[in-house]
């Protein structure tokens, strides 16, 4: 009803959401369970550096509010997931702080650009530190799992505060490079009350 | 539970209530800034409002089994809301009777007893003191009931919603709710089996007084402007089929929606008359959510015409049902306000999911909830953030000492605008501030009386 495509085959995920279905949820939960396994950790310094650069670039683009470039780092069918519990339960039966598919991610950016998003008027200034980057192999050679710690300093409303936690990225091969297929942002205080959670993490 | 202890007037301090002229601070058309900014007034509220009337504590689905507990607050009092070993729901003070330590530092769990981390006094989940280390060091019998935990003397549920009050003279909860109980029934009864289960929350904190949130709970005046970014976003592809709350955009007062004041500070904004009355009428208004096209197609394939009624269960019920001072049902959320200080408040949006009543089947319930989680995340992310930013800015603005008044007179004195009904309820157009004028009368009534407040202990 909300999108021109009526057939999942020719749908544009920016306009209609066919890919977020039960199989997708099950796969997402599977991909984000038990993946931080020492046996799968990638030691190769060049590989680790490649993904560190990817995460550093993502942080910089968000700090610079370069949302189009940032969105382009994501696969067409992607998920941005901020669980509301430290164990990141089943998003089909647990409300999340944020759970955006491609279209809702673009909604998020659209809203911030309307000029009427009062929670971001003026916009927060942020500086992100990304560290402790670890790369893990996944069952498919076309995908990798990344773990990183983040610390976002956010200046907003006359004060600077810190948002911190760790992120899991699932990246998939796209041509010569990689795209982010899923990002799970685990705030250390995800199950607590948070003041003005309106920036993109 | 028979041992009541009357709450004594504050000792060793000025009784500040005599210093305030409540009728001056809250007038028919305006309220004084002090009621939002004065720490002494806040302190009075923490007993006379949060204590003097029914306050929402928790939902029964959060403590479904015997010995389940959840930690909450009644005003500033830390509580452990438990379902005790005999299945009785109690609101225990989370405060050791020895020297005051909180007994339980977890948000939730299951425990038959609570042991104080300081000196090890141990309490059953009925509140009774079970034992203390080395009791022969005490000259008296430690079985004196005064060492049992304090508890909220009156805890009652209305269809799963647990409320508590310290006021022994308060009306029974169902009577207190009065006409709004029927609206709560309607909110519940659209769900299978007339039930919902709480499933985590979107949790916010803002630097502002708690009343700023309650003043907004029935406010239809702010939507078109405060939520302009949301309305523009959710309608960016909508074309002629306006989505979400777009009905607020043009002359909202001529729409069939309305507000109703039902007494005791409770009110209700009913946007349901704006919908088409048919299965799928609610769903048709939903803006874009993750998975919506897939599930819609899948439901139609699996259930035929019945699909629309199922999709409506994932749709956001267009009501705001507000029970003074801290509870609000809106969309599918249970929203709760927790005052922290005169200038800081938590606003927690508990999500709800549906459960199978035997008519839906596991697959349908899983899919409805998968969609219902996503519809519920929409407003907190794209709407509430802007509301709380505005609440913070009100608190800031009210720091201007000489500019004293907050006006709430929209609709007042406009002929024919406000209807008073035989059942005592009041209706007005959706943008009217009648709801605020009325809940401030209740606030004033509560603030003027010390009430017959007590705590209870097990005998
Ligand atoms: S304060 Fe609790 S046992 Fe001493
Ligand atoms: Fe609002």
B259-270 residue pLDDT tens: 999 999 999 999
Task: Scan for tokens 């969309």, then name that residue.
Answer: B331
| B127, B440 Cβ separation under 8 angstroms | no
Q: Where are the alpha helices (DSSP H) in B190-306?
A: 210-216, 223-226, 228-234, 292-303
CATH topology for A22-187 is Nuclear Transport Factor 2; Chain: A, (3.10.450)
| B355, B60 Cβ separation under 8 angstroms | no
CATH topology for B54-166 is Rieske Iron-sulfur Protein (2.102.10)
3-class secondary structure, B300: helix
pLDDT in tens, A43-82: 999 999 999 999 999 999 999 999 999 999 999 999 999 9
Phi, psi of B393, deg, nearest 5: -75, -25
- Which percentage of chain B shows pLDDT scores above 90? 91
Q: How many CB atoms lie within 10 A of CB B347?
A: 26
Comparing CA positions, the residue from B382, B142, B229 lying closest to residue A200 is: B382
Q: Which pLDDT score, from 0 to 100, does residue B337 have? A: 98
Find all residues with CB under 8 Å of A189, minimum gap 6, and list them: none
If you measure from the C-alpha of residue A98 to the centroid of ligand 2, how many angstroms do you get, rounded to a whole number?
19
Q: Label the pairing between strands A74-82 and A177-187.
A: parallel
3-class secondary structure, A103: helix
Q: Tell me whether the omega of the peptide bond preceding residue A186 falls within 30 degrees of 0, making it cis.
A: no
**ipTM value:** 0.96
Phi, psi of B190, deg, nearest 5: -75, -15
Q: Which pLDDT score, from 0 to 100, does residue A9 have? A: 73
Size of interface A-B (CB pairs under 8 A): 163
The alpha carbon dihedral of B314, B318, B323, B327 has a sign of positive
pLDDT level of residue A5 (50, 70, 90 thresholds): low
- Ligand 1 in reach of B96 Cβ (< 6 A): yes
- Which percentage of chain A shows pLDDT scores above 90? 93
Q: Which two tokens stand for residue B171?
A: 């009306």
Q: What residue segments make up the domains of chain A, in order of their start? A: 22-187
Q: Tell me which chain B residues have a C-beta less than 8 angstroms from the C-beta of A3.
A: 237, 288, 293
Q: Which pLDDT score, from 0 to 100, does residue A6 have? A: 66
Torsion of CA B54, B56, B62, B65, to 10 degrees: -10
CA–CA gap between residue B36 and residue B34 (Å, rounded) = 5
- Which percentage of chain B shows pLDDT scores above 70? 99
pLDDT level of residue B241 (50, 70, 90 thresholds): confident
| B408, B30 Cβ separation under 8 angstroms | yes
B194: left (phi over 0), alpha (psi -120 to 50) or beta: left
If you measure from the C-alpha of residue B221 to the centroid of ligand 2, how many angstroms do you get, rounded to a whole number?
9
Using the predicted structure, report yes or no on whether residue A2 has a pLDDT greater than 50. Answer: no
Report which protein residue has its CA nearest ligand 1's atom 1.
B99
Find all residues with CB under 8 Å of A3, minimum gap 6, and list them: A11, A12, A15, A16, A17, B237, B288, B293
| B203, A190 Cβ separation under 8 angstroms | no
Please name the member of A22, A89, A103 whose beta carbon is closest to the beta carbon of B370. A22
Q: Which of B98, B113, B132, B134 to mutate to test ligand 1, by most ligand atoms within 8 A of the CB atom? A: B98
Over its C-alpha atoms, chain A yields an Rg (Å, rounded) of 17
Q: Which pLDDT score, from 0 to 100, does residue B249 have? A: 84
∠ CA(B396), CA(B398), CA(B403), 5° rounding?
140
Q: Which two tokens stand for residue B138?
A: 């005490």
Q: Which pLDDT score, from 0 to 100, does residue B244 have? A: 83
- Ligand 1 in reach of B101 Cβ (< 6 A): yes
3-class secondary structure, B53: strand
If you measure from the C-alpha of residue A146 to the centroid of ligand 1, how many angstroms do you get, rounded to a whole number?
46
Mean pLDDT of B215-229: 96
Q: Which pLDDT score, from 0 to 100, does residue B276 have? A: 86
Using the predicted structure, report yes or no on whether residue B9 has a pLDDT greater than 80. Answer: no
CA–CA gap between residue B148 and residue B408 (Å, rounded) = 46
Q: How many CB atoms lie within 10 A of CB B233?
A: 28
- Ligand 1 in reach of B119 Cβ (< 6 A): yes
N-term to C-term CA, chain A? 30
> Whole-model pTM above 0.90?
yes
3-class secondary structure, B200: strand
Averaged pLDDT of chain B: 96
What DSSP string describes B364-399?
HHHHHHHHHHHHHHHHIIIIIHHHHHHHHHHHHHTT
Q: Which pLDDT score, from 0 to 100, does residue B8 have? A: 80
- Ligand 1 in reach of B118 Cβ (< 6 A): yes
Q: What residue segments make up the domains of chain B, in order of their start? A: 54-166, 178-446
Mean pLDDT of A131-146: 96
CA–CA gap between residue B218 and residue B215 (Å, rounded) = 7
User: Where is pLDDT greater, at B14 or B370?
Assistant: B370
Please name the member of B205, B377, B389 whose beta carbon is closest to the beta carbon of A99. B377
Instruction: Tell me if B233 and A22 make a contact (CB, 8 A cut-off).
Output: no
CATH architecture of B178-446: Alpha-Beta Complex (3.90)
Q: What atom in ligand 1 is closest to the CA of residue B119?
A: 3
| B34, B399 Cβ separation under 8 angstroms | no
Using the predicted structure, report yes or no on whether residue B373 has a pLDDT greater than 90. Answer: yes
The alpha carbon dihedral of B437, B441, B443, B444 has a sign of positive
Q: How many CB atoms lie within 10 A of CB A177?
A: 10
Task: Scan for tokens 């998968």, then name that residue.
Answer: B370
Q: Which of B94, B101, B148 to mutate to test ligand 1, by most ligand atoms within 8 A of the CB atom? A: B101
Mean pLDDT of A6-21: 89
Q: Which pLDDT score, from 0 to 100, does residue B321 have? A: 98
pLDDT in tens, A110-138: 999 999 999 999 999 999 999 999 999 99
CA–CA gap between residue B102 and residue B117 (Å, rounded) = 8
Q: Which two tokens stand for residue B295?
A: 């599930």
Q: Which pLDDT score, from 0 to 100, does residue B238 have? A: 81
Helix (H) or strand (E) holding A151: strand A143-156
The alpha carbon dihedral of A73, A75, A78, A84 has a sign of negative
CA–CA gap between residue B360 and residue A192 (Å, rounded) = 34
pLDDT in tens, B82-110: 999 999 999 999 999 999 999 999 999 99
Comparing CA positions, the residue from B155, B175, B173 lying closest to residue B92 is: B155
Mean pLDDT of A87-92: 95
Using the predicted structure, report yes or no on whether residue B10 has a pLDDT greater than 80. Answer: no
Using the predicted structure, report yes or no on whether residue B458 has a pLDDT greater than 90. Answer: yes
pLDDT in tens, A173-188: 999 999 999 999 999 9
Q: Which pLDDT score, from 0 to 100, does residue B90 have? A: 98
Using the predicted structure, report yes or no on whether residue A87 has a pLDDT greater than 70. Answer: yes
């Amino acid at each position: 009803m909300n999108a021109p495509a009526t057939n999942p085959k020719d749908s544009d995920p920016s306009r209609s959401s066919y890919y977020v279905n039960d199989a997708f949820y099950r796969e997402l939960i599977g991909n984000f369970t038990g993946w931080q396994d020492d046996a799968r950790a990638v030691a190769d310094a060049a590989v680790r550096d490649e993904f560190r650069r990817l995460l550093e670039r993502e942080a910089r683009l968000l700090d610079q509010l370069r949302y189009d470039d940032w969105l382009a780092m994501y696969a067409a069918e992607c998920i941005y997931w901020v669980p509301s519990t430290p164990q990141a339960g089943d998003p089909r039966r647990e409300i999340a702080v944020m759970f955006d598919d491609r279209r809702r991610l673009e909604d998020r950016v659209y809203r911030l650009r309307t000029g009427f998003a009062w929670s971001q008027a003026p916009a927060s200034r942020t500086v992100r530190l990304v560290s402790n980057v670890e790369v893990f192999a996944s069952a498919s050679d076309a995908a990798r799992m990344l773990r990183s710690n983040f610390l976002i300093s956010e200046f907003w409303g006359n004060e600077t505060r810190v948002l911190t936690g760790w992120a899991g990225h699932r990246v998939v091969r796209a041509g010569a490079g990689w795209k982010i297929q899923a990002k799970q942002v685990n705030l250390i205080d995800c199950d607590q009350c948070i003041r003005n959670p309106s920036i993109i993490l | 539970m028979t041992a009541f202890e009357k709450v004594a007037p504050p000792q060793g301090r000025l009784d500040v209530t005599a210093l305030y002229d409540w009728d001056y601070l809250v007038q028919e058309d305006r309220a004084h800034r002090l009621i939002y900014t004065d720490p002494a007034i806040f302190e009075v509220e923490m007993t006379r409002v949060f204590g003097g009337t029914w306050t929402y504590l928790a939902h029964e689905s959060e403590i479904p089994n015997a010995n389940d507990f959840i930690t909450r607050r009644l005003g500033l009092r830390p509580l452990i809301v438990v379902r005790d070993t005999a299945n009785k729901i109690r609101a225990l003070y989370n405060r050791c009777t020895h020297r005051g330590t909180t007994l339980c530092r977890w948000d939730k769990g299951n425990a038959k007893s609570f042991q104080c981390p300081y000196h090890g006094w141990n309490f059953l989940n009925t509140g009774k003191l079970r034992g203390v280390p080395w009791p022969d060091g005490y000259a008296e019998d430690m079985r004196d009931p005064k060492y049992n935990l304090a508890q909220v003397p009156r805890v009652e549920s209305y269809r799963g919603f647990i409320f508590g009050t310290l006021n022994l003279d308060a009306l029974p909860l169902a009577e207190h709710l009065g006409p709004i109980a029927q609206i709560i029934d309607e909110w519940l009864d659209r769900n299978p089996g007339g039930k919902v289960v709480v499933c985590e929350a979107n949790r916010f904190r803002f630097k502002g007084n708690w009343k700023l949130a309650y003043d907004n709970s029935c406010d239809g005046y702010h939507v078109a402007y405060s939520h302009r970014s949301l309305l523009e976003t959710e309608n960016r592809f909508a074309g002629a089929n306006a989505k979400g709350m777009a009905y607020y955009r043009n002359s909202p007062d001529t729409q069939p929606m309305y507000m109703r004041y039902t007494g005791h500070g409770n009110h209700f904004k009913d946007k349901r008359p704006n919908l088409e009355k048919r299965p799928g009428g609610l769903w048709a208004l939903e803006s874009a959510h993750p998975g919506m096209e897939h599930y819609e197609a899948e439901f139609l394939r699996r259930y035929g015409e019945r699909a629309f009624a199922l999709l409506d269960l994932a749709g956001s019920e267009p009501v705001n049902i507000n029970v003074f001072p801290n509870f609000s049902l809106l969309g599918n959320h249970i929203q709760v306000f927790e005052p922290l200080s005169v200038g800081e408040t938590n606003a927690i949006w508990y999500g709800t999911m549906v459960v199978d009543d035997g008519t839906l089947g596991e697959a349908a319930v899983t899919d409805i909830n998968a969609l219902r989680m996503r519809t519920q995340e929409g407003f907190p992310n794209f709407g509430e953030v802007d509301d709380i930013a505005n609440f913070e800015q009100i608190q800031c603005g009210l720091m201007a000492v000489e500019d004293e008044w907050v006006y709430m007179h929209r609709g007042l004195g406009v002929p024919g605008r406000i209807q008073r009904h035989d059942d005592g309820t009041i209706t007005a157009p959706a943008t009217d501030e009648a709801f605020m004028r009325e809940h401030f009368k209740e606030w004033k009534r509560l603030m003027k009386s010390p009430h017959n407040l007590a705590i209870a202990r097990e005998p």
